[in-house]
Amino acid sequence: MTGPAMATDTTTTVAPVVTPPGSATKQLEEVEVRANSIHTAITQAPTQAELDITQPQSVIGLDYISNHTSPTADYANIAAIAPGVSTISTAGPGLGEAKQMTIRGFNDNQYNVTYDGIPFGDTNDFSHHTSSYFPAKMIGQVTVDRGPGNASTIGEATFGGTVALRSKDPRDSFSFIPTESIGSYGTSLTHLEVNSGRMDSLAGGRLIASAQYNDTDTALTNSPMKRTTGYVKYIQPIGASTEITFLSNYNHIRFNNPDKTTLTQQQINTLGRNFGLNTDRTSTDCYCYNYQTKETDLEYIGVASALSDTWQLDNKTYTYAYDNDSHESPYVGTNASKTNMGGFNKINKYRAWGDVLLLTHTDEHGQFRTGGWYEYTHNDRYSIALDYGLGNGAYDVNPKKPLLNGYSSAYKYTMVDRMRTSQLYAEYAWRATDALTVTPGVKYVSFTRYISAPINQTTKTPLYYQKTWSKALGYLSANYMLSNEWSMYGQVAQGFLAPNLNQFYVPNPAENNTKPQQTMNYQFGTVYKTDRFNADADVFYIDYQNFPLSSVDPVTHDPVFYLAKGATMKGAEAQATYAIGEGVSVYANGSIIEAKFKNSNLKMPTVPSGTAAFGFMYDIGNFFGSIGEKYVGGQRVYNSGFNPDVASSVTSTRQSNGYWRAAMSLGYGQNLSGSWIKSYKVRLQVDNLFDEHQQVVDSVKSNTPYYLVLPGRSWFASVSLGL
């Protein structure tokens, strides 16, 4: 009665076991109400790994996404159930950008996020905006790969892991599914989905299209958000061996963004735990001076074809864009008047064009894979001072001051950032025996950044600079099937990540720390899967060179960058689900993380000491639901600008304790006959079930810690109809 089981809906980026030509990936078709549910540890597991993997993995299926997360969720909220993953949503689930989303302690700009295998992210530092692209209803599956993958794993930040999102597929039969959700913070969400079904007149072509509107006040005062999203996916078979896919996703979001993204304890005590903005036009915290509009889109045309009995082609040509128009960082006293309110209008606008190619050749000895990824991105960025007392569009210009590098003195910075990235790879999954598959591989990466900055950020001086980083990387993995239910795997892989834009906010980047991150990754694990019990566990060790840390000054909001010569991360992870019977299963997962700088032995900042989760799932008759808790370990921060390699450079440090948060989902669904309504489903989702008041330290300045405040209890009720 819930969505389809995802155990067979998963694919690894690289499968060590040879797959026969023409084998198809399981379709991700959401079913509102399903009869004759099969209850096993595999079908009910919120996270699980496949037997043929070569690195630690957590697959989160469509059933969990549609029935056990908030209807407003983004991919960060979904991925948070996995071991080693932590995230903070200060505005509520999916109602604002996720903060401190980490995987094994890797920050957001140190791992990939992909959509149908296409990497996407900001051009400046490779980070992501969790609420700006794909809401939960446009996601069919989330796979958290903890590791660099094999040679065929593409993206800017493969060494930190990959959060792989898969789009929902159209159904085989016609359907129209309206969903209405309401909940905490005055939230309403309307989602409409239509499936064409398989169209015989178009040789079996299928279409899914959906539109969503989300309106909410969010958990923060005077910080509303409105978001409109559209999604179209069309699959067209060509003959018996080729399939063409077209996908387009568009997102428009307008929200009030608090200038104080973090709060001191005194501010929390005086302004309240849910403080975001106020309505006082004489205050820098007024909602009228702190707001953003964002537009994003992603499109691709994909071709999958069996070229022969042994050769297969998979290619996607794509484009995506991000356009952020932000009013932020208000201040009192402009050049026109000491009492006028000023602020900054920040523009960050980029578009990427790219192509992803995979060719595979399969024979009785194994599978050869080769291909590549190419992407070009153009990014316009500037920030200019405004005088709100002279009107929204008036610049804060002092005519007595000379022009700054030919530009008005109102500019804080202005630049064009362009990137070219290419990766070519080859690997061979050799079936040494019926049980053992060994996969060596090599990948060549090349990354070029071009900077044209008449006014460079922070330095205010001109910067015209370009540089290319390139390297050949080696990979070796193995998977051994001990039985049909039990496997072991191991991996040794190199990692590489080109410098981000924060490393160029210096007078002469050629003489500074524009060094790529490089890693050696070692990890080993085992997977056991039966209908009654499935589990996996792994250990990992990562050796770093040139580990960069970047943060934002909590007062000035300027970026702060520093580089560690060396660091290590090591730990262990595990996840398991046990089917008790009669539609009831229990699950648990956890991780232990130790991350330190080599030279100073300091713990890395904002890295949780570990994670844990446990709970139970049930699907009994027409009822379904879950109750579970997630634990995120304590973390520490240091004074801004400390040297990671010198322990004595730390003059101030703060630490926050670990915390637990519980969630509950309750639902009921039924198929109907003899009615124009074919089925219905009602659901209640409650986050932070026990209304815990928690906060996590984010930074420290002048011996004063700044905290991210987690929201209190929230609830969301939904009704879906199948027509």
Contact (Cβ atoms closer than 8 angstroms) between residue 642 and residue 600: no
Going by pLDDT thresholds of 50, 70 and 90, the confidence category of residue 392 is: low
pLDDT above 70: residue 520: yes
pLDDT category at 234 given cuts 50, 70, 90 is: very high
Give me 438's structure tokens: 């060994």
Q: How confident is the model at residue 507 (pLDDT cuts 50, 70, 90)?
A: low
pLDDT of the residue at 20? 31
Pairwise CA distance, residues 500 & 562, whole Å: 12
Q: Higher pLDDT residue, 270 or 562? A: 270
Domain assignment present for 714: yes
Let me know if residue 1 belongs to a domain: no
One-letter identity of residue 474: G
**What is the arithmetic mean of pLDDT over 151-165?**
90
| 566: in domain | yes
Alpha carbon distances (Å) from 336 to 332, 339, 425:
11, 9, 58
Sign, CA dihedral 263-268-274-278, equals negative
Looking at residue 530, its amino acid is T
pLDDT value at 434 more than 90: yes
pLDDT in tens, 93-135: 999 988 889 999 888 888 999 999 999 999 888 888 888 889 9
**Of 289-293, 392-396, 690-694, which range is least confident?**
392-396
Average pLDDT over residues 408-426: 93
| Pairs from 25-29 (Cβ < 8 Å, separation ≥ 24) | 27/169, 28/62, 28/140, 28/141, 28/166, 28/167, 28/168, 28/169, 29/4, 29/168, 29/169, 29/170, 29/171, 29/172
∠ CA 656-660-662 to the nearest 5 degrees? 150
**CA–CA distances in Å: residue 656 to residues 218, 220, 423, 632, 708:** 25, 22, 40, 11, 11
Q: How confident is the model at residue 574 (pLDDT cuts 50, 70, 90)?
A: very high
User: Checking DSSP bridges between strand 112-115 and strand 162-166, what pairing results, if any?
Assistant: parallel
What single string gives the DSSP state of each residue in 99-119?
EEEEETTB-GGGSEEEETTEE
Domain total of the chain:
1
| DSSP code string of 319-354 | EEEEEEEEEEEEEE--SS-SSSEEEEEEEEEEEEEE
15 confidence band (pLDDT: 50, 70, 90): very low
Identify the CA nearest to 479 among candidates 144, 48, 50, 163. 50
Domain membership of residue 157 (yes or no) is yes
User: With pLDDT > 90 as the criterion, what percentage of the chain qualifies?
Assistant: 72
**Distance between CA atoms of 685 and 92, rounded to whole angstroms?**
13
Residue by residue, DSSP assigns 242-308 as EEEEEEEEEEEEEE---S-SSB-HHHHHHH-TT---BS-TTSTTBGGG-EEEEEEEEEEEEEEEE-S
Give the number of other Cβ atoms within 10 Å of residue 308's Cβ: 10
How sure is the predictor about 1, in pLDDT bands with cuts at 50, 70 and 90? very low
Contacts of 25 (CB under 8 A, 6+ apart): 11
DSSP state of 710: P
- Range name among 154-163, 503-512, 556-565 with the lowest pLDDT average: 503-512
* Rounded distance between C-alpha atoms, residue 620 and residue 614, angstroms: 20
Which residues face 86 on adjacent strands? 102
Residue 7's pLDDT is 35
- The C-alpha angle 350, 353, 359, rounded to 5 degrees, equals 150
The answer to the question of residue 9 being in a domain is no
* Extended strands (E) in 106-161: 112-115, 118-119, 141-145
Whether 6 maps to a domain, the answer reads no
Residue 473 carries which side chain, given as an amino acid letter? Answer: L
670: three-class secondary structure by DSSP: strand
Position 548 pLDDT exceeds 50: yes
Write down the pLDDT at residue 10.
36
Tell me the per-residue pLDDT of 706-723, one tens digit each, with 9 for 90 and over. Answer: 999 999 999 999 999 999
pTM as predicted: 0.92
Assess whether pLDDT exceeds 70 at residue 602: yes
Q: What is the pLDDT of residue 210?
A: 96
Confidence of residue 397 (pLDDT cuts 50, 70, 90): confident
CATH at residue 89:
2.40.170.20
CA–CA separation, 209 vs 192, rounded Å? Answer: 8
Q: Where would I find the beta strands (DSSP E) of 2-89?
A: 57-60, 85-88
Between residues 559 and 359, which one has the greater pLDDT? 359
Q: Inform me whether the pLDDT recorded for 24 exceeds 60.
A: no
Split at pLDDT 50, 70, 90, the class of 233 is very high
pLDDT at 304 over 60: yes
The rounded mean pLDDT for the chain is 89
Least confident piece of the model among 171-180, 236-245, 343-352, 456-465: 456-465
Residue 34 has pLDDT above 80, yes or no: no
Range(s) of the domain holding residue 157: 41-722
The tokens 């139970």 sit on which residue? 616
pLDDT band at 473 (very low <50, low <70, confident <90, very high): very high
Average pLDDT of the segment spanning 44-70: 95
Q: What would the two tokens of residue 432 be?
A: 């040494």
Cα(82)–Cα(569) distance, rounded to whole angstroms? 18
Among 175-179, 186-190, 278-282, 646-650, the minimum mean pLDDT is found in 646-650
What is the C-alpha separation between 632 and 109, in angstroms, rounded?
Answer: 20
Question: Six-digit token pair at 12?
Answer: 């690894």
Query: What percent of the chain is predicted at pLDDT more than 70?
Result: 91
In a domain, 592, yes or no: yes
- Does residue 659 register a pLDDT over 50? yes
List Cβ neighbours of 539 (8 Å cut-off, separation of 6 or more).
Answer: 523, 524, 525, 570, 571, 572
Residue 24 lies in a domain: no
Q: What is the mean pLDDT of residues 667-684?
A: 92
